[in-house]
Structure 1
Amino acid sequence: MAKVHFIAIGGSVMHQLAIALKLKGYQVTGSDDEIFDPATTNLTNAGIMPATIGWDPARITADLDAVILGMHARLDNPELQKARELGLKIYSFPEYIYQESKTKTRVAVGGSHGKTTITSMIMHVLRTVQKDFDYLVGAKLEGFSQSVNITNAPLIVCEADEYPASAIEKRPKFHFLHPHIAVLSGIAWDHINVFPTFENYKEQFVIFLRTIEAGGKLIYNSSDPILKELVEKEAGHLNLLPYEVPVNSITNGVTSIILEGHTTPLLVFGEHNLMNINAAWHVCRELGVDVRSFLAAISSFTGAAKRMELVGKNEQTAIYRDFAHAPSKVKATMQALKAQYPGRKLIAVLELHTYSSLNRDFLTEYKGAMDPADKAVVFYSQHALEIKRMPDLPVDAIYDGFGRTDLSVITSNAALLSWLDEQEYANANLLLMSSGTYDGLDFPSLKKYL
C-alpha cells in the first residue's frame, strides 16, 4: 500500500486528490496551517483530517512513498525541509497526477478561458455514455461527488491550468501532463503577478505544445488569431484538429446546435459555450463517441458551478452569476446574454478580485470590456487589496482602464446593494461576474428583484 503525505492538504484540489487516493486504498496523511470548509468537512468524512492544525516535521518519515506539495506551502516549510533532508520523492499536484496516469490515455484541456467548462462537458458526456475514466476539474459538477478522481480507469481527463505548480516547481501545471489529446481554447493574457508580460505568458503555451509527443492530437480554437499563429509556428509535429463556432440557431430563448447534420436543443448558450461544445465534441469523437450519443448527452448539460449559473428568472427578467473575471471572458459572457435576450437591457456588475484585475498597469486590458452592458458597475473592495498586499486603486484608474465614463465604481458591499435596489428590472437581465463573492453577497437574496 502506497504511503502519501500532503503538505497543504486543505487546498481546493489538494484535499480532493487526497480523498481520491484514500478511496483508491492508499495510506494518506496531511497537514496545513489553515483548513476551511468544504475541505474540513470533506477530509473529516474521509477520515484524513489532520488531528492538529500546523506544520510538524515529525509527520515526515523515511517510509513515505511520496510527498505532495501544495501551492500554499512556502519554501521554508519545516515539513518540506525534512522531506528534502530525507531525500523523499516530492511532487507538485500535476507531477503526481502524471505519475498516477502514465499508463492511461491522457486528455488535457488548456487555454485562457473555457477550460473548466470544456472539461466538464467531456466528463458529462463520458459518464452519460458509460465510459470508465478518471478526471481532474476545477469546479463542482452536478453528478460528480469529487473534482478529482484517480482509479484504475484507462483514461484521464484533466483541466490543464497554466498557473505555477508549487513553491519549488514554478513551471505551469499544464507542462507536466504530457497529453495524448490536448485542447487549447484561446490565449488572452492573465496571471500578471506570475507572467509580467504577454510574451512571457504566450511562451508557456509554446512550451506546452512542445511537451506533447509527435503525432499527438491538438484540438484548437482556430478563430483565435494569436493561438492560430502560435499553432502554425510550433505544432508541426502534431495532428491538428481546428474548431470554431458551430452552426446553431436561437428560437424563443433556446439555443440549438447542429453537428454533422444532427440538431439538438441546449440548456447552455452563448458563442463561447457553442465553441466549448465543439471542442468537447472533437475530444469525445477521438475517444470513440458517435455524434448521436454526444448530442443526446450534451443536451442535458447545465454548466459547471458558477459558470453562467442561473440565480432565478421570471417572464421578463433573468439573474445570472458567472466566474468571468479576465477581460476576454467578461466581454464574451455579456455578449452571450445580449444575443440570447436581444430585446432586454443588460445590467452588469464586475468584481475586480484577482491580482491581474486589481493591478493598475493591467487595467487597460479591460478597455471596452464592459461596453455591451446598458448599465455597468465595477466593484472592488479595500479588503481584497489588503489581502493581496496591493496599493490603493484610484477610481480614475478604473475609468481610464475601462474607457467608459458612465461606469458606476463601487467599493463596499452595502453601497453595491443600495445600487442594485435602485435599478429597474422590468425587461432587463442582471449579470454578476466575479471569481470572488463581492465581500459576502447573498446571491439567493437577489431573487427579490424578480
Structure 2
Amino acid sequence: MKIHFIAIGGSAMHNLAIALHKRGHEVSGSDDVMFEPSVSRLAKYGLLPKAMGWYPEKITPEIDEIILGMHARVDNPELLKAQELGIRIYSYPEYIYEYSKNKLRVVIGGSHGKTTITSMILHVLKSAGKDFDYLVGAQLEGFDTMVRLSDEAPVIVIEGDEYLSSPIDRRPKFHLYKANIGVISGIAWDHINVFPTFDNYVDQFRIFIDTIQPGGKLIYSATDAVVNKIVHEDTSAISKIPYDLPAYNIKYGVTNIIVDEKEYPLQVFGDHNLLNLEAARLACESLGIGATDFCNHITTFRGAARRLELVGKNENANFFKDFAHAPSKLKATIHAVKTQFPDRKLVACIELHTFSSLNKDFLDQYSDSMEEADTAIVFIDKKTFEQKKMSPYGAETVKKAFSRGDLLFFNEPGELSNYLENVDLRGKNLLMMSSGNFGGIDLASLSVKIL
C-alpha cells in the first residue's frame, strides 16, 4: 500500500509511520514543525520529509490511504487535495482499529496513569514471551517503537487517549477502538479547550464503557468516586472488576508489594503507581498471566519515560522529572515522592504549558495541589502565552489559584535555571514536572551542576 501521513511528526503518528514502513508499505509524510525524537527516528528509516510545510502536489491518485494527524487543520492543503481526489482518509485510531478488528483489544483509558498501566502490561507480556501488538504514548526500555502491528499477534494493547481523533473526526480516540477489555484508571477534568464542562468530559468515559464489546470486561479504580459512580450507573452486558491498593511496605527507600506473604521489590513507587500496577495485573490476568508470574516480571519494570524518571542523585538528594501537568497528576506525583522519602524536604516545580493548564477559568483546579511540597515553584514560559495567543498573567494570579502565598513564580527559563542552580539540595529532593521542556532548560546538564 502507498500511505501518506499528514502531520507525520506527532508522537503516535511518526511511530505508526515507522511501524507501517517496517511492514513493507510505501510511506510518505509532511509536517510544518517537528521536534526530537521524531526527527531523528524518521530520518533513521528514510521517512523524514525533505522540507517542512504542506505540499498538495504530494497528494496523487496513486496514494491508497491518508492518515491524518490532530496537528493538521481542517483547511490543510494536503487534506483538501485528498478530499478532492476521494482518497480514503483515516485518523490514526481509526487505522489502528481497522488493523486490529480481528484481535483481542485491551484499551487503557483514564485521565491519569494510562501510559504507565499500558507500559506495565507490555513489559510483563514481553517478559513472559507473549506475542502482542501495541500502541503506547511513551518510549519504553526494550521496545524499538511505540507502535507494533503484525498479522500474527492475537492481542493488541492500546493506550486509549480521550483527546480528539483528528481535525475532521471530533470523537475521542478511545471511542474508536471498541475494547474487549477496558481499563479506567481515574477521571479528573482535562482538555478544557475541547470539553468545556466537567460533565461533558465525564460523558466521554460513559461512552467508552458503552463501546466495550458485549461479553467484555471493564477494570476500574475503586478509589475514584467519579469512576465508581458511572460504573455503577452503567447497565452494559460486561463484567466489571474493581481494583484498589495492593498490600505493600517501604523498606530502605524501596517499595515492596506483598502477595501470598512474599515480598516483591519494585523499581517504581507511589500510591498512584501501585494502583497502576493493580490495573495492569488484572489486565494481564485476563490474558492468562497469573499473579506470581506477574509479580516476578514487574520487579524489573523501570517505569515509562518521563514518569517519575530519576535524572540524577547523590548521597543527599534525588532529582526526578515527571510528565505530570494536570492537577490530579501533580498532587499524586508530589505525594509519591514525599511518601517514599519522608525525611527529605521536597522542592517541586510545575510548568504550566497546555491550553487547559494555562486557561484562567481552569487555573483554580490547581488549588492545594502543591500543599505537600516544601518549596513550590510554578513556571510559565512567557513565550508560551504568545505562541498559544493567550493573555498573560503573573505571580499573584498563580499564587491565588494554587492557594499558596509562598509559591515562587518564574516566566523566564534563565531565571528559573539560575534559581535552581543555587538551591542547596542537601537533604532534599527536586521534582520537575511538565509536558513541555521548561523553555529549553537541559535537565541533564542542570542535574550535573546541582548534584
TM-score under structure 1 length normalisation: 0.97
Moved over 6 A (4+): none
Correspondences of 1:115-134 after superposition (within 5 Å): 115-134=114-133
Between 320-329 and 56-65, report the one with greater CA deviation: 56-65
Q: Secondary structure at the match of 1:249?
A: strand
Q: Which amino acid is 1:447 matched to?
A: V
State the AA in 1 paired with 2:54: W
Mapped pair 1:447 → 2:445? no
Shift of 1:58: 2.9
**How far apart in 2 are the matches of 1:196 and 1:154?**
38
- The match for 1:65 is 64
RMSD between aligned residues = 1.4
Percent identical among aligned pairs is 52
Question: What is the distance in 2 between the residues matched to 1:15 and 1:9?
Answer: 5
Tell me the distance in 1 between the aligned counterparts of 2:329 and 2:17: 31
Aligned to 2:204: 204
Output the CA distance in 2 between the equivalents of 1:447 and 1:142. 23
Residue 418 of structure 1, CA deviation: 2.7
SS of the equivalent of 2:163 reads coil
8 Å contact kept, 1:345–1:374: yes
Runs of 5+ in structure 1 lacking a partner?
Answer: none
Aligned equivalents of 1:235, 1:129: Cα separation in 2: 35
Q: Distance in 2 between matches of 1:372 and 1:169?
A: 41
Question: Structure 1 residue 53: deviation in Å?
Answer: 3.2
1:283/1:90 Cα in 2 relative to 1: closer, same or farther (>3 Å)? same
> In structure 1, how many angstroms separate the alpha carbons of the residues matched to 2:55 and 2:421?
50
Specify the code of the residue in structure 2 equivalent to 1:448. K
Which residue in 2 is equivalent to 1:105?
A: 104
Alignment of 1:82-97 (within 5 A): 82-97=81-96
SS of 2:356's partner is coil
Deviations 1:253-300 (A, max 9, x none): 110012354430001000000000100000111001122221111001
Question: 1:314: how far off?
Answer: 2.0
Q: Residue 340 of structure 2 corresponds to which residue in structure 1? A: 340
Paired letter, 1:354? T
Once the two structures are superposed, what CA deviation does each residue of 1:204-263 show, in whole Å capped at 9, x if it has no partner? 111111111222110000110011001111254220110011110001111001235443
Query: What letter matches 2:200 in structure 1?
Result: N
Paired residue secondary structure (2:170): coil
Aligned residue number for residue 331 of structure 2? 331
**Residues 1:339 and 1:439: Cα distance change in structure 2 (over 3 Å):** same
Equivalent-residue separation in structure 2 for 1:353 and 1:362 (angstroms): 13
- 1:145 equivalent in structure 2: 144
Specify the code of the residue in structure 2 equivalent to 1:382.
K
Output the CA distance in 2 between the equivalents of 1:189 and 1:430.
27
* SS of alignment partner, residue 272 of structure 1: helix
Structure-2 separation of matches of 1:85 and 1:134: 34
Contact 2:421 2:449 in 1 (8 A): no
Over 3 Å counting, the alpha-carbon distance change for 1:235 and 1:142 in structure 2 is farther
Indicate the larger mover: 218-227 or 45-54. 45-54
- Offset from partner CA, 1:337-380 (integer Å, 9 cap, x none): 11111111111111111111111111110110010011111111
On the 8 A contact 2:422/2:450 being kept in 1, the answer is no
| 1:216 corresponding residue in structure 2 | 216
Where does residue 183 of structure 2 map in the other structure? 183
- Per-residue Cα deviation, 1:139-188 (whole angstroms, up to 9, x for no partner): 11111111111112211111100111111001111110111111100000
Q: How many residues align?
A: 449
Structure 1 stretch displaced more, 61-70 or 92-101:
61-70
Q: Supply the AA of the counterpart residue of 2:418.
A: S
Task: Find the counterpart in structure 1 of residue 265 from structure 2.
Answer: 265
Q: Please give the alpha-carbon distance, in whole angstroms, between the structure 2 residues aligned to 1:188 and 1:5.
A: 35
1:368 is aligned to 368
- For 1:34 and 1:374, the matched residues in 2 are separated by 38
Change (3 A) 1:8 1:204: same
Rate the CA distance shift 1:377–1:53 in 2: closer, same or farther, 3 A: closer
TM-score for both structures, normalised by structure 2 = 0.97
Question: Judging changes above 3 Å, is the alpha-carbon distance between structure 1 residues 52 and 417 closer, same or farther for their aligned structure 2 residues?
Answer: closer
Gaps of 5+ in 2: none
Of 20-29 and 242-251, the range deviating more from structure 2? 20-29
The 3-state SS of whatever aligns with 1:151 is coil
CA displacement at 1:311 relative to structure 2: 1.1
1:6 lines up with 2:5 in the alignment: yes
* SS of residue matched to 2:441: coil
Change (3 A) 1:365 1:313: same
